[in-house]
Amino acid sequence: MLHSEALAGKHAFVTGGGRGIGASVARALLLHGARVTVSGRNADALERTAAELAGLGEIGHVIVDVGSASSVAGAFGNARSRFGAVDMLVNNAGQAQSAPFAATDEALWQQMLAVNLTGAFHCTQAALPDMLASGWGRIVNVVSTAGLTGYKYVSAYCAAKHGVIGLTRSLALELATKGITVNAVCPGYTETDIVREAIANIVAKTGRSEAAALADLTAGNPQKRLVQPEEVANAVAWLCLPGSDAMNGQALAVAGGEIL
């Protein structure tokens, strides 16, 4: 991706920014001139990503538990003290756990809602006052194709991700005249730690090979491959760039044609 100054002077807050899609999003936004705060729970991962990307522009990192309103408030306060008001929010933090519905207990259900849905709620509420004050903003929710369709054995995860799509569409209408757009990007199976953990889980439970487990996960993608984090990041960056202003309330599948 070429460097540009299209987002110069803008501050982006990226959750789940220490690795995978979040780190790729941070890189893409830096390359367009934005100042970026990456956030998450793993201090080592955040520090490593910030150090790796420091040569591309201004980047900082803050610890946050998106499921906690007080943690989110503190993290946004720290981010503002360094880079000023938040102009762009990328709600990327997520967690996936699988279980048959009958074996899904309340703790798993609440954990999936807390990280995947309530986290987006907390962070959006924290970022929105800055955007309303400036009359410009971009909110991009990194969801999943699980927000657009159903998958077996991840009912809690699917329910949470469907909830984020509903939040996206509702808020997009509410803010449509405020200079703020709200969209979702929905990756299919992407080459991240979450998918590597899913493959390891399949191998452990079934005794199948890693290659066979990977083939199962990519079977639904017409391109028969995993999506790359950079491909998701490119979609996120485009929704933040000038010229994407009419994109609002959309849920873009980045999945090789899996969702048509």
Query: How far is the C-alpha of 157 from the C-alpha of 151, rounded, in Å?
Result: 9
Provide CB contacts within 8 A for 53, sequence distance 6+.
23, 26, 27, 30, 36, 59
Provide CB contacts within 8 A for 214, sequence distance 6+.
199, 226
Helices (H) and strands (E) in the chain — how many of each?
A: 9, 7
Query: How far is the C-alpha of 39 from the C-alpha of 75, rounded, in Å?
Result: 8
Residues 44 and 255: beta-carbon distance below 8 Å: no
Residues 86 and 13: beta-carbon distance below 8 Å: yes
**Phi/psi of residue 137, each to 5°?**
-175, 160
Instruction: Choose, from 151, 153, 157, 189, the residue flagged as catalytic.
Output: 157
DSSP string spanning 152-179?
TTBHHHHHHHHHHHHHHHHHHHHTTTTT
67, 33, 143: which is closest to 75 by C-alpha? 67
Residue 139, classed as helix, strand or coil, is: strand
> Is residue 151 flagged as an active site residue?
no
Bridge partners (DSSP) of residue 187 are 254
CA 22 to chain centre: 6
N residues, the chain: 260
Positions marked active-site: 157
